[in-house]
Chain A
Amino acid sequence: GAVVSQHPSWVICKSGTSVKIECRSLDFQATTMFWYRQFPKQSLMLMATSNEGSKATYEQGVEKDKFLINHASLTLSTLTVTSAHPEDSSFYICSARDTTLVAAKNIQYFGAGTRLSVL
């Protein structure tokens, strides 16, 4: 159980275009999902916390108009990188918590990540 699917796994786009990344919890409902960014051989940096039915909570320094997050259902959160530029190229990873599992409520289940390359 506790499978998180992230799509696409790899995307190449031209500078100025927008890219949408989907994160789905396949076998559980996730009221909260998280979006991270990871540079090569670096740690994961939390970008924002996505809350179902309400606005996302962005970490300091993350532009909310640049990285649009929508969490319209209990199983789907999307991250849209708007007007992407080469400096947005990175590995984006989502995660979700299954808050129905008391013993595992603090554990995050991760998607496989999306590698974004902006030309």
Chain B
Amino acid sequence: NAGVTQTPKFQVLKTGQSMTLQCAQDMNHEYMSWYRQDPGMGLRLIHYSVGAGITDQGEVPNGYNVSRSTTEDFPLRLLSAAPSQTSVYFCASTLGPGANTEAFFGQGTRLTVV
């Protein structure tokens, strides 16, 4: 049971480049989310999804797109990377927004935009 698999672990981008962070879970969780974590800021929600075909914006969505074509996958796209997007990104999943269950995290992606 792999849990939440997130790739890549590290990435360096040039300003203006685009890329996709991959996230997959094999627990049949309905709810998936993307966070960014910066020093002293805690986990900030970028986008989330409550099921296949349904996505919504979180606290800091600008500059990012998501899609949820399957229950398992929830990729995060950076459209045109900016230095302000240098951060550590975490994907997480949980059984459902109304369920009283824990969240599981991917290992994180450390992104540097130069």
Question: Are A and B interaction partners?
Answer: no
Residues in A lying within 8 Å of B, measured CB to CB: none
Residues in B lying within 8 Å of A, measured CB to CB: none
